[in-house]
Structure 1
Amino acid sequence: MTTPERTVPRSRVRVVLVDDHRMFRSGVRAEIGELVDIVGEAPDVDSAVTVIRETRPAVVLLDVHLPGGNGNGGVDVLHGARGLETEDGQPVRFLALSVSDAAEDVIAVIRAGARGYVTKTINATDLVHAIRRVSDGDAVFSPRLAGFVLDAFGAAAGEIAEVDEELDRLSAREREVMRLIARGYQYKEVAKELFISVKTVETHVSSVLRKLQLSSRHELTAWAMGRRLL
């Protein structure tokens, strides 16, 4: 009689979660905590680098826009944790998880060493699948974002899209607010999406209009469309 083969269960991936919103981190932990091992959390660049160095996870779920460091958010974390390995001798790998779907954000973190980039609209099942794939060394992107990477890395070496001087006047948070407003989001919807107050949204919108010398939401939408930022 032949003894049936035993299926060896897959070990749970060790994950560090880096995001500056505590409620979002709690939500991710609640959604996927039974399927992966979340071994650490961090709300900013400096504490993220420390936690990653201490825990050596297989995958770091990394927000793009974070306080601290040199002001470059997730890119600073990638630079600070460069070259780290897990206890098994595998490289610590990074999967960006962000509300931003801007080409410049995607390209920046991939150039800095991230293995993938997904947006916060992803569901829990797909997120766990993405984490496991990145842990195995695969590259993972939300469908729309893969094109940004192909365009950027398919170009001649050293070719980088010219930065729009007007867009460069805006902070990372102002860019997030600008894109959502231009897409037709109401202030309350923007506040919910970015985990900030309606008053903060109003402040950012006023700042964006002033910096871009625009006078209305309609002009802002036209400006964003003209730069293919939606």
Structure 2
Amino acid sequence: MDHPAQTDGTDIRVLIVDDQSMIRGGFEALLNAQEGIEVVGTASDGKGIVDVVRELGPDVVLMDIRMPHVGGLEATRLVLEMPGSPPKIIMLTTFDADEYVFAALRAGASGFLLKDSTPQELVHAVRVVAGGESLLAPRVTRALIADFVARPERAAEADASLEVLTERELDVLRLVARGLANREIAAELVMAEQTVKTHVSRVLGKLLLRDRTQLVVAAYESGLVRPGE
């Protein structure tokens, strides 16, 4: 870990984990300049990540996928297996066809961001994920999921069973998988937005999943949604 920082407890607390010092420094400076966001620490790899997270208590972790020693995928798994309420994780990658991204989404990461994203995109990602949403809007995220789920070698891994869901819950899941927000799903299905939230919560509970990103993965893996739809 490079260093911790103190906050007053009201900001979105961010931990940056990346093996490139320029990335860490640039992201830290950018995020610290934003109102309501505070970088509480940085680290160069995933070694000791559980202790770092426990000590600093971040709300969001920006996690590089490819790092020496303990990589981002393993670090993500370790963090999300922590008891209590682990932080949200945004994976960082240099290219959008990174096979590890899909594995990270399956493990429970809330989304991913390209390292050459604009400052506005970085800040938006932190705020969205900290607010409990998944970073599903980027077209490349859905394309990535569709591509890896569609690969023949993945067919045997498709283990998500949706038999426990009602027809209405399946309707909601299909629209979640298309990247629609609750407000848009409500308009599509002609129901109250609060009703959509209730359906999403029930689907998460029935499938034992943690967030909307994993719902999208489950929808593709089960065949409920096909790539290209």
TM range, smaller chain: 0.5 to 0.7
Highest CA radius of gyration, 1 or 2? 1
Amino acid of the structure 2 residue aligned with 1:82: L
Structure 2 gap ranges (5+): 1-9, 160-229
Higher relative contact order (CA 8 A, sep 6+): 2
Q: Deviation of residue 153 (structure 1)?
A: 5.7
Q: Deviation of residue 15 (structure 1)?
A: 0.4
Q: TM-score, normalised by structure 2?
A: 0.56
Q: Deviation of residue 48 (structure 1)?
A: 3.1
* Preserved contact between residue 93 and residue 115 of structure 2 (Cα < 8 Å): yes
Q: C-alpha root-mean-square deviation of aligned residues, in Å?
A: 2.6
Amino acid of the structure 1 residue aligned with 2:62: L
Check 1:117–1:157 CA distance in 2 against 1; reply closer, same or farther (3 A cut). Answer: farther
* Preserved contact between residue 84 and residue 92 of structure 1 (Cα < 8 Å): no
Deviations 1:110-161 (A, max 9, x none): 112210011012111221111111112211143223212245468867249x
Match for residue 181 of structure 2?
none
Is the counterpart of residue 84 in structure 1 residue 82 in structure 2? Answer: yes
Aligned mate of 1:145, from 141, 149, 166: 141
For 1:1-230, what aligned pairs fall within 5 Å after superposition? 11-35=10-34, 36-69=37-70, 73-84=71-82, 90-141=85-136, 142-152=138-148, 158-159=157-158
Q: TM-score, normalised by structure 1?
A: 0.56
Q: Percent identity?
A: 34
| Distance across 2 between alignment mates of 1:48 and 1:67 | 13
Deviations 1:156-188 (A, max 9, x none): 67249xxxxxxxxxxxxxxxxxxxxxxxxxxxx
Structure 1 gap ranges (5+): 1-10, 161-230
Check 1:56–1:157 CA distance in 2 against 1; reply closer, same or farther (3 A cut). Answer: farther
Segments of 4+ moved more than 3 angstroms: 150-157
Count residues in correspondence.
Answer: 145
Check 1:49–1:20 CA distance in 2 against 1; reply closer, same or farther (3 A cut). Answer: farther
